[in-house]
Structure 1
Amino acid sequence: MEHKVCHFKALNGDVLADIIGRFDGSTLAAAACTCSDLRDIARDQSLWRQLCQSTWPSTALEEAQHILSSSPIGSFHKFYANSYPLLLHGECVKSQEPQTHVSASQFASLVDLYYRKECVLSKVLDGIPQAVEDDSSRWNSNFPFKLELLSLDYDEETGFDNELGYAYIDDDEERRAPPSVSVAEEGKELEQELRLSWVLLDKKNGKAVNLSSWKPMLVQRRWPLSGEYVIHFGSIVQVDEGLLSHKLAMCKIVIRCKLTESGGCPKWREISMHIEDLMGVIVGGSKSLMVLNHALDCLRSTNHHEVKQGFRQYEKQKREMMRKKELMEALIEGFSVSIEVAIFVTICYIYLFL
């Protein structure tokens, strides 16, 4: 080990910095733990800035740089450490000072969409527009939370109506659907080639978390012959029982896109995020903000297999809850029918024998 350290010391500092600058985040962090020379070089924030901007091109946007520089997150090293791992289905790490009020303006979203290993969309969303545009009391209590990053209005070229959320497909468009590619192959292509990062930044407290699953959780075709797909990403968030009765929420990110005839990059029609409880009910504004706040303190992992297992566990719990709900509804319905039959028999008895 001493022999290797001497070689490090013999290297020119610029050469060593250039070598380390080619590391990924995990390797750079591991290298910083080996010796003092590497630790000093790995502390250079310019390396971490370069690493963040190559991992999330949205961080290089002017708006993102302004948000990050004014945030107490402190360093690109901390931002990377917070944002690179994915949320893991498990207990939250309790924060030292739990918040009783969460403001919509304290959040910012940095979103990067990748297709065939190329970043095709980077966008920054500061705050939550719905919480500002709508009446705050109504939004906090009743308004379903939905954070829209991209939503196209209807026009003749795209055939999409934002208000109604329907795709208008004529006969010519159906005939233009590529016959050589099956639905299964198209869905597999999207599942394999589409990746999404949605980093939520708490500008007030200097925390960040990646709300996306990176890889799609579900790929569905919207219409039989339209070439339009709905892709789900997201994460599982453990919350307090006082917030949601089942103590679990899903941060669901939805992408709607249409495949092109040429087989190139799809046309993106919607990218949005909302919160659901374990029963699949969309959570309202104020509770959604609290769920996002809990996500900042949840366990994380760089092991995608662990993350996938967490989703399977969540889906198993969801199916069990739905089964119990259906059983309870069947029992109630059976009990109601029994009461109705008893009342009918009683009325018949009274009518015939009294």
Structure 2
Amino acid sequence: MATTTTLEDLPADVLACALRRLDGPSLAAASCATPGLRALAADPDTWRALCLTRWPSLAARPDLLLPAAGALSPQRLFADAFPFPSLPAAAACSSASPHQPQHLPGELVSAVDVYYRGTPLLSRVVSTPTTSSWFLTSPFCVDAVARDTQQGHVAAPAAAEMELSWVAIDPRAGRAVNVSSRRPVAVDRHWYTGDTLVRYAVVLAGCKFEATLTCGEGHVVREVSLAVEDADGAAVSGEGALRVLGAAMAAPRKGGKEEDEAAAAKGRYEEFVRSKRGRKESKARKEVLVDLCCSAVSAVAVLSFIAAVVLRS
């Protein structure tokens, strides 16, 4: 009688070794095949190694991946941070919007990794306290590399070919979200310094989260920063940005190929820019119309006054 050999007939240690060589999406797909593979694929050490390979910056904060209260499990981190979030524009970035969750993280951890053709080029972890009134009321901005940090000055052969991963983590809630398009959505030059500005952006709830990588002469990485602006181009406060981040962390994720997700993120960015330009032009036209009306009213008032004086005389 012929017997059928299946994949699960292999020793568990051999299967586990093979699973450790898969990337995140492939490992998640393998876990859906059989109960045995699901058990092996759920190994925290496998996911921890995968997360550290994907985001080398997390090596500076190993406590984020430890099985402690409020900490991210490695599998949860990958499920949160790898795919792009799906947050509708109806959840506006107003701090008073009822669509936003009331929980605000007391600390925001930013895991920032710059790659060139898949090779890690620069990794930083920035911890930002978020409870002060100054942070909550000021425009949201996080700097990952200071200009005076010489060890952070790393050269890349071509700025436009660099990729950026910016993962925002709420350690207390144990959730994370990716706020970078990974691939550049725009490359331009600073009007005064001449530095190359490589921009990465995602649009969440009608707000644009834009990470800007500043490269000096010779494509030397000098600074990486994240800022948020609304549909009118106004800077969003720290509280408003935190509310959008909280909603994005809890929102469902968009599955699909990484290339397709990056292209979709660029499309949403371009649509945001077109919409902002249209709103700006519409506002300018309204202002011109108001000016004309005011000028007409003033002219009528002056002519009426002159006519009254002439008639009296």
> When the two structures are superposed, what TM-score results if normalisation uses the length of structure 2?
0.83
Match of 2:127 in 1: 126
Alignment of 1:41-60 (within 5 A): 41-60=40-59
* 2:148 is aligned with 1:150: no
> What is the CA–CA distance in structure 2 between the aligned matches of 1:350 and 1:92, rounded to whole Å?
55
Match of 2:96 in 1: none
> What is the CA–CA distance in structure 2 between the aligned matches of 1:153 and 1:346, rounded to whole Å?
65
Tell me whether 84-93 or 113-122 shows the greater mean CA deviation. Answer: 84-93
2:204 maps to which of 233, 237, 247: 237
Asked if structure 2 preserves the Cα contact closer than 8 Å seen for 1:85 and 1:300, the reply is yes
Shift of 1:27: 0.9
Match of 1:273 in 2: 226
> What is the CA–CA distance in structure 1 between the aligned matches of 2:134 and 2:33, rounded to whole Å?
55
Aligned to 1:282, the other structure's residue is in SS state: coil
Amino acid in the other structure paired with 2:159: L
TM-superposition CA deviations, 1:183-231 (whole Å, max 9, x none): xxx9xx422x11001111111211110111101111111258x662112
TM-superposition CA deviations, 1:118-171 (whole Å, max 9, x none): 21111111224xx57xxx334433x2221111121499xx9xxxxxxxxxxxxx
2:276 maps to which of 318, 335, 345: 318
Match of 1:9 in 2: 8
Alignment of 1:298-317 (within 5 A): 298-301=251-254, 302=256, 303-304=260-261, 305-317=263-275
Asked if structure 2 preserves the Cα contact closer than 8 Å seen for 1:194 and 1:215, the reply is yes
* 2:101 is aligned with 1:102: no
Amino acid in the other structure paired with 1:146: C
> What is the CA–CA distance in structure 2 between the aligned matches of 1:154 and 1:307, rounded to whole Å?
31
TM-superposition CA deviations, 1:324-345 (whole Å, max 9, x none): 2122212211111111211221
Tell me, which stretches of 5 or more residues in structure 1 are unaligned? 159-185, 239-247, 261-265
Amino acid in the other structure paired with 2:306: C
> What is the CA–CA distance in structure 2 between the aligned matches of 1:353 and 1:32, rounded to whole Å?
94
Match of 1:353 in 2: 311
Aligned to 2:6, the other structure's residue is in SS state: helix
| C-alpha spacing 1:124/1:251, structure 2 compared with 1 (3 Å) | same
| C-alpha spacing 1:15/1:227, structure 2 compared with 1 (3 Å) | farther
| C-alpha spacing 1:72/1:137, structure 2 compared with 1 (3 Å) | closer
* 2:33 is aligned with 1:34: yes
Identity %: 28
Aligned to 1:230, the other structure's residue is in SS state: strand
Runs of 4 or more off by more than 4 Å in structure 1? none
| C-alpha spacing 1:234/1:339, structure 2 compared with 1 (3 Å) | same
Match of 1:67 in 2: 64
Match of 1:333 in 2: 291
Alignment of 1:207-246 (within 5 A): 207-223=175-191, 228-238=195-205
> What is the CA–CA distance in structure 1 between the aligned matches of 2:241 and 2:33, rounded to whole Å?
42
TM-superposition CA deviations, 1:255-290 (whole Å, max 9, x none): 111141xxxxx3222211111010111112322222
> When the two structures are superposed, what TM-score results if normalisation uses the length of structure 1?
0.74
Shift of 1:307: 2.6
**Number of aligned pairs?**
292
| C-alpha spacing 1:320/1:300, structure 2 compared with 1 (3 Å) | farther
User: Over aligned residues, Cα RMSD in angstroms?
Assistant: 2.7
Shift of 1:88: 4.1
Aligned to 1:213, the other structure's residue is in SS state: coil
Match of 2:168 in 1: 200
Aligned to 1:216, the other structure's residue is in SS state: coil
Shift of 1:72: 2.4
Shift of 1:101: 4.7
TM-superposition CA deviations, 1:70-123 (whole Å, max 9, x none): 452452111101110123463589xxx9642524x3321111111232211111
